[in-house]
Structure formats: structure tokens, C-alpha cells
Structure 1
Amino acid sequence: MNNNSDYGSGDSIGKNFWNELWQKNETGWDIGQASPAITQYMTQYADKSKAILIPGCGNAHEAEFLVATGFTNITLIDIAPKAVETLREKFSDKPQVKILCEDFFDHEGNYDLIIEQTFFCAIPPSRRNEYTKKMASILNPDGKIIGVLFNKQFNQPLPPFGGSPDIYKPIFEPYFNIKTMEECYNSIPPRSKAEVFIILLRK
């Protein structure tokens, strides 16, 4: 492993770390489809014009679902150039999808909804408070985060980093009202009982 600081370890996992995984096709976090918990929620989301962000989007299966169901204002962010290259090919004829290759923590924007799917678990636990503060800063008034978090611990030095509602609630509560944070009933079988579904309302 290259010692370049963009690779990092623990608290400093960076662009090159993720890009190397993409180049090696080591994307074990990818479930190969949009999360059923997210698609079910978004099926009931009436305003298709709302500004939606998916940070750390990977293959962006959720964005494919959103496009197919009529959403028109979707922004995708990933830090790995290889991932972004793939996304730009995938969505080349979809003007409703904006794709950015950048660090989420440097991003500026205004969104009505942020979809969380295997991004929080990729961030070192030491940056979780920074994550929640940043999320709140780019959400419009009445904006929200919806998605899934792991409901298990991994006890390893590299992602994914897990947790539980008891760990997550104090992290989110300074910036969000927690409407829902409960075990997913519709996770894919390999993640049964290992995910919580969240609906977090910006304060």
C-alpha cells in the first residue's frame, strides 16, 4: 500500500484508498441493487422536483431507481475518480443527474433530502460529529436524511464502521430530530437484523 496521505488509514482514509478498491473491483459494500428500505420510502415521496443528494454514492443504484420513478434533481458525490468515471457513463443520457468527484466535507450545496446508504459507515468514527454538522449545513429548512445504517459492530481498523442506535443517537441529536431509527424490516437477506432505517429531520 502506498504511503501517500490520500490513502490513509483509520482516521485519514482518503481518495486513493477508495479509488484503489474501485480499480481492483473490490466493492463488497455494493448490494447490487437499490436498498429496499430506501426504495419503499421514496415510492411514497410525492414531490419529484425536490433537490436530492446521495453522498459517497458508489454505483448509485438508488439514483437509478429515482430516475426511473420520475425524480428530476439528483446530485451524486463520490471521492473515487474511478467510481465517478463509471457513473458518468451510466448516467450520460440522464440530465436530471449531476455527478461530482469531490470530498463530501468540501461540498457546498442546498438540498431537501439526503439519502444515506453505506456512506456513514465509510467515515472513521472520529469524523461522525463532523458528518452530522456538515449534513445539517447543506440541508434546507425542513430538510431530512433518510436511509440505512448498520446495526452491528465490525471491530476492525478499516471500513465499514458499525454501531447501534444507542451510539448513533447522541451523534445526530445536536442537529437533527430523530423521527425514525429502528431495525429495518425489509433489508436484503444478508443484512437482515443488521440495519436500522433512519428518518432524521434537520433542526
Structure 2
Amino acid sequence: MNTLDKSYWQNRYIKNEMGWNIGAPSRPLQTYINQLSDKTIKILIPGAGRAYEAEYLWQQGFKQVYVLDFASEALDHFKARVPDFPESQVIIQDFFTLKDQFDLILEQTFFCALTPHLRTHYVQQMHQLLKPDGQLVGLLFNFELTQVGPPFGGDLETYQSLFEPFFKIKTLEPAINSIKERQGKELFFIFEKKS
């Protein structure tokens, strides 16, 4: 298996090898964003890649949006598309070293790109990065966890046992508005930080 480090991801973006990239905001996340009324909340999108959800949030008037990726190539593409996005809100850094707090974190193909042995660390870091009552919202792939990836899959029961120690599970169910290629393969979730 490849070492899924900074150079691995940088090379994937340079070579345009991005099978996960749909070139637009994910429909389930766009639908969720459309229901948010408080545009002052502080939002993080980790492993943002080309950050189409961040672009959509910015266009909708959310000004406290932060994008994080350690592959600068991906975020350069985002900055070219959204030139008025503040440079100070573009974070080129390892997710596991980030120290800040957010009201909302959006998950879109970041969790599935991590090697599975990092999943517990991911959950703990998400818990640390959220303010009290903060929410982690997004999509998880719903297919068998294989040794080869990314993407790495999982199932509802596994995700429940992984997240429940740190989060109140408000929603964890099959996504009803996935793109055709992902229908039946995505779970939409809303997890709230436990104190």
C-alpha cells in the first residue's frame, strides 16, 4: 500500500488523479448548507482538496469558513477559483496538528482517505476541534472496508461504535440524494460533540 503522506496527495493532484473529485459541492452537503441560517458560525473543511463545499459556503455569505489540506496543489486550485477568499483562512497543514475550535466541521471524503489505523485519532481530533455543542456533519462511505485504498470504506455499526464515545449521534443514515455513482454507498451523518 502507498504511504498516504503529503507527497502522495500532492502528486495525485499534480497528476489530476482524483477519482473522488466530483467538480461541485456534494448534493447532500449542499442540501444541509442550504438549511443553515446562522452565517456567522466558524466552519472547518478538513482534507478540503479542491474545496467545492467551501466555495459554495462562501458564495452563500458564510465568511468564517476555513479550508485545510496539506496538499498545497489542491488549495491553489481553490484559491484561483475564489480569489477573494481570505488567505488567512486557507490552512496548509496536517489535520492532526491543528489547534483551533469551530462550530461546525464538514466531512467530505477526508475520513475515507485516511489509513484506517488513524480513525480513532481522527475522532479524538474532531472532538478537540469542536466548540461545546459543535457539530461534525458529512458523509461516510458505506461499503466493505478493504485493505486497499483510498477510499477505505466501513459500515453503520462500525461508525457508531467509533464515534459514540465522543459524539451524540443525531443522524446516521443512508444519503437520499447522492450523485448517481455514489447512490447506496454514502451515509449522511450529524454528530454533536459530547462534553
TM tier relative to shorter chain? over 0.9
Pair 96,20 (structure 1): closer, same or farther in 2 beyond 3 Å: closer
Equivalent residue number for residue 188 of structure 2: 197
Superposed displacement of residue 94, structure 1? 2.4
Where in structure 1 are there 5+ consecutive unaligned residues?
A: 1-8
Instruction: Please list, as runs of the form range in 1=range in 2, the aligned pairs for 1:93-104 lying within 5 A after superposition.
Output: 93-95=84-86, 98-104=89-95
Residue identity in the other structure for 1:33: A
Rounded Cα–Cα distance in structure 2 between residues aligned with 1:38 and 1:136: 20
Rounded Cα–Cα distance in structure 2 between residues aligned with 1:147 and 1:83: 20
3-state SS, counterpart of residue 29 of structure 1: coil
1:114-165 CA-partner distances (Å, limit 9, x unpaired): 0000000011111100000000001000100111110112524231000111
Equivalent residue number for residue 4 of structure 1: none
1:11-70 CA-partner distances (Å, limit 9, x unpaired): x52100100101100011111111111111111111001000000001111011111111
3-state SS, counterpart of residue 66 of structure 2: strand
Preserved contact between residue 150 and residue 162 of structure 1 (Cα < 8 Å): yes
Rounded Cα–Cα distance in structure 1 between residues aligned with 2:79 and 2:59: 17
Match of 2:168 among 156, 168, 177: 177
Preserved contact between residue 79 and residue 85 of structure 2 (Cα < 8 Å): no
Equivalent residue number for residue 107 of structure 1: 98
Rounded Cα–Cα distance in structure 2 between residues aligned with 1:31 and 1:48: 25
Preserved contact between residue 53 and residue 76 of structure 1 (Cα < 8 Å): yes
Match of 1:158 among 149, 157, 161: 149
Equivalent residue number for residue 26 of structure 1: 17
Rounded Cα–Cα distance in structure 2 between residues aligned with 1:122 and 1:82: 17
Equivalent residue number for residue 6 of structure 1: none
Task: Supply the RMSD in Å over aligned alpha carbons.
Answer: 1.5
The alignment-based identity, stated in percent, is: 41
TM-score by length of structure 1 reads: 0.91
Rounded Cα–Cα distance in structure 1 between residues aligned with 2:93 and 2:77: 15
Instruction: Please list, as runs of the form range in 1=range in 2, the aligned pairs for 1:140-155 lying within 5 A after superposition.
Output: 140-153=131-144, 155=146
Rounded Cα–Cα distance in structure 1 between residues aligned with 2:23 and 2:45: 16
Rounded Cα–Cα distance in structure 2 between residues aligned with 1:107 and 1:183: 30
Pair 66,97 (structure 1): closer, same or farther in 2 beyond 3 Å: farther
Rounded Cα–Cα distance in structure 1 between residues aligned with 2:88 and 2:77: 14
Equivalent residue number for residue 52 of structure 1: 43
Rounded Cα–Cα distance in structure 1 between residues aligned with 2:119 and 2:126: 10
Q: Aligned pair count? A: 194
TM-score by length of structure 2 reads: 0.95
